[in-house]
Amino acid sequence: MLREISKQGRLTDVTCAISGRTFADDVCAGGLSEAEDFLAEKASVCVQTDQGDYACDGAQKIDVLCVGGQHGIAIEAKLGESLMLGDQFRKRFCAPCEASLHQNRRLRGSMIAVLERSFHDDVPKCSKIMCRVGDRTVTLGLGWWLVVRRSVLALWMKRQDVPVSPQFARVVEFESLMALYGRDRFDALVREVVGEKSFAREWRLGAG
């Protein structure tokens, strides 16, 4: 979906609901010559510190990595509507990563905590975060994007309790991405992948 939005030249319309910053802004600031591609669940992560590199759990991949040259932007999607209040979200996804007991340097924790640079005291100071996709290595920009449902974001805003850092995170409504992509095209995509007849209608997407 993001690949198609990018092809349409509409990354300037992908906007953080908190700061107003656009995805195109981060492409420029992050050192990407352009948004070359969007890679789903292919990028593993390595945290570089002044005492050596720490790998994340081997099973963990970034949901979507936007790549351009030697740089990248991470995108995480949390599309559930339950257990998503601020405190619940922080408990589930933002607890500081800890050094694993494995002999090799590894981190235990969620990908969102890594992107938030949330590390326990036993982890040396992070200098930068690298991603590997096959033989390609890219440096992650400081800004990362979180995709949530409109209802979840509305609750966060109403309670003035957005659980991710405005320093690093940009929050965008899933519904706004679907609207940019096109409701009918989105339904066709979902039918192709999971066989649902009208996912957009059932989720009340594209309205209001």
pLDDT score for 207: 46
Give the model's pLDDT for residue 1: 87
Q: In this predicted structure, what is the pLDDT of residue 60?
A: 83
**How buried is residue 51: exposed, middle or buried, by Cβ count under 10 Å (0-12/13-18/19+)?**
exposed
E-assigned strand segments in 57-124: 62-68, 71-78, 98-99, 106-108
201 sits in which H/E element: helix 199-202
| Better-predicted residue by pLDDT, 122 or 19 | 19
Residue 25 falls within a domain, yes or no? no
Is there a domain that residue 129 lies in?
yes
DSSP conformational letter for 203: T
The H-assigned helical ranges of 8-147 are 23-29, 86-93, 111-115
Q: What is the pTM of this model?
A: 0.89
Q: What 3-state class would DSSP assign to 83?
A: coil
Above 60 in pLDDT, residue 204?
A: no
pLDDT score at 194: 56
pLDDT of the residue at 72: 97
Domain that holds residue 70: 31-171
Q: How far is CA 157 from CA 3, 89, 154, in A?
A: 28, 14, 5
Residue 208: the pLDDT is: 43
User: Does some domain include residue 208?
Assistant: no
Higher pLDDT, 2 or 192: 2
Alpha helices in 53-124 (DSSP H): 86-93, 111-115
In this prediction, residue 137 carries a pLDDT of 95
* Position 143 in a domain: yes
Residue 157 located in a structural domain: yes
Residue 192 — pLDDT band, cuts 50, 70, 90?
low
The string of pLDDT tens digits covering residues 86-143 is 999 999 999 999 988 766 788 989 999 999 999 999 898 899 999 999 899 999 999 9
Q: Dump pLDDT digits (tens) for 42-66.
A: 999 999 998 889 988 767 899 999 9
Residue 180 lies in a domain: no
Of 145 and 184, the structure prediction assigns the larger pLDDT to 145
Domain for residue 97, yes or no? yes
CA dist 70 and 33 (Å) reads 9
State residue 186's pLDDT score: 72
Amino acid residing at 107: L
Residue 205 lies in a domain: no
> φ, ψ for residue 144 (rounded to 5)?
-135, 160
Q: What is the pLDDT of residue 177?
A: 93
Number of structural domains found in the chain? 1
Rounded Cα–Cα distance for residues 180 and 5 (Å): 7
